[in-house]
Amino acid sequence: MTAALPRHLHPGAWWVWSIGLGVAATRTTNPVLLALVLGVAGYVVAARRSDAPWARAYVAFLKLGAFVLVVRMLLQIAFGQPLPGTVLFRLPEVDPPRWLAGIRLGGAVTAEAVVGQLYAGLRLGTLLACVGAANALASPYRLLRALPGALYEAGVAVTVALAFAPQALVSAHAVREARRLRGRATRGPGSLRGLVVPVLEGALARSVQLAASMDARGYGRRAGPPSRAAAAAMFGGLLTLCVGTYGLLDPSTPPVLGFPAMAAGTALLGYALVRGSRRAARSRYRPDVWRWPEWAVCAAGLVPPVALALVDPAALQPSTNPLVAPAVPLLAVLGVLVALAPAFVAPRPPSTLPRTLRAATA
């Protein structure tokens, strides 16, 4: 079989795959399984990411995850509730004032508490890594392009918001440099004042420029007058969904307010979306296609959470009190390993290099 031609996999497929992995990660605190999820995500990213700058997101999210893990551990050691068990070391204990009753500072640090925090932190870090994998494999903008027309505008608001954070970082860097040039402190609490306002100003100015540029290029043009039917269906659908949720949660309500109301609400919302999409004048340039590799990637992402659901819950939450070596359920391991499939079935992403260079480096 000849290898498939390079193309971008549909971003939706990558997001389904990584959300599947992420859901699997939230179901367990077993460090072996979590490490396996991290490894699987990392391997697929390494095999199928493009050479664009956002493909580096995985490493950035890994770092963020590690940071969260460390901060959680430190907080637990300093403030956490004491757990009986093997004492590793003792921190000097501070007697909190009476109005802080119930909060402990310092004291004995037990292996049980540390390991418990480690497991919980690892789960959070793995979840972040899954989000990072999705960002590295498919840029958020590509996903927005694939949204139905009626949701597009809300999606673009998200794009502008997403652009805000990197902008703020860039302008924070510039402001710090300027402060050093003027001979002012660049660290410490005093430097924080006078940093926030210029940073926000700079990032906000960029956002306004972006919005002006979008408007000048026809963003938000309408084919016809706004549709009242779509607006009414949207409102009615949301209202019916609320009633349906209430009906499902409160067993004393008549059964018609449960599932039937949910179904009716969903149908109304679907109608509003289709109707609204028809009204937007937008067309799509080279839309991403959905073929069998997309189905395969989605399926591979859904196997891990299903496999974990079938495993004995006790094996997924290894005991930390008393401390025991975590058991490794075979079914869960196999299930997570299935998520490696995209590294082989997904097409390679196209290179961003020009053709001539590509031939030379091949």
Partner 1 sequence: MIRFEQVTFSYPGVARPVLAGVDLTIPEGELCLVVGRTGSGKSTLLRAVNGLVPHFSGGTLTGRVSVDGRDTRDHPPRELADVVGYVGQDPDAGFVTDTVEDELAYAMENLGLDPATMRRRVEDVLDLLGLADLRQRALQTLSAGQQQRVALGSVLTAHPQVLVLDEPTSALDPPAAEDVLAALHRLVHDLGLTVLLAEHRLERVVQYADRVVVVPGDGTVSAGAPADVLATAPVAPAVVRLGRLAGWTPLPLSVRDARRAAASLRLAPPVPDAPPVPGEVVGSTSRLTARYGDLAAVRDVTLDVRAGEVVALMGRNGAGKTTLLSHLVGLRKPSGGAVTVRGVAPHAVPSRRLARLVGLVPQDPGRLLYADSVAAECRQADREAELPDGTTAAVLASIAPDLPPDRHPSDLSEGQRLALALAVVLGAEPPLVLLDEPTRGLDYAAKTRLVPVLRSLAARGHAVVLSTHDVELAAEVADRTVVLADGEVVADGPTREVVRQSPAFAPQVTKVLGGGWLTVAEVERALA
User: What is the size of the binding site for partner 1 (CB under 8 A)?
Assistant: 50
Q: To 5 degrees, how large is the angle CA 122–CA 127–CA 128?
A: 95
| Identity of the residue, 211 or 338, whose beta carbon is nearer to partner 1 in the bound complex | 211
Binding flag, residue 356, partner 1 (CB under 8 A): yes
Residue span binding partner 1 (CB under 8 A) among the ranges 79-87, 94-102, 202-210, 340-348: 202-210
Binding flag, residue 282, partner 1 (CB under 8 A): yes
Binding flag, residue 213, partner 1 (CB under 8 A): yes
DSSP, res 224:
S
Question: What's phi and psi for 109, nearest 5 deg?
Answer: -115, 120
CA 159, CA 203: separation in Å to the nearest integer? 14
Binding flag, residue 317, partner 1 (CB under 8 A): no
| Identity of the residue, 112 or 288, whose beta carbon is nearer to partner 1 in the bound complex | 288
- Of 91, 83, 70, 92, the closest CA to residue 111 belongs to 83
Binding flag, residue 359, partner 1 (CB under 8 A): no
Site for partner 1 in 248-277 (CB under 8 A): none
Q: To 5 degrees, how large is the angle CA 246–CA 249–CA 255?
A: 75
What are 308's two structure tokens?
């974990």
| Identity of the residue, 98 or 193, whose beta carbon is nearer to partner 1 in the bound complex | 193
CA 52, CA 70: separation in Å to the nearest integer? 30
Omega before 322 cis (within 30°)? yes
Binding flag, residue 209, partner 1 (CB under 8 A): yes
What is the per-residue binding string for partner 1 in 162-181, x denoting contact by CB under 8 A?
------------xx-xxxxx
Binding flag, residue 96, partner 1 (CB under 8 A): no
What is the per-residue binding string for partner 1 in 100-139, x denoting contact by CB under 8 A?
---------------------------------------x
Residue span binding partner 1 (CB under 8 A) among the ranges 211-219, 232-240, 252-260, 288-296: 211-219
- DSSP string across 179-218: HHHTT---SSHHHHTTTHHHHHHHHHHHHHHHHHHHHHTT
Q: Tokens 């072996």 appear where?
A: 32
Question: Least separation, in Å, of the C-beta of 307 and partner 1?
Answer: 35
What are 114's two structure tokens?
């540390």
Check if the beta carbon of residue 304 is closer than 8 Å to that of residue 336: yes
Chain residues in the site for partner 1 (CB under 8 A): 52-54, 139, 141, 145, 156, 159, 174-175, 177-186, 194, 198, 206, 209-221, 223, 281-286, 350-356
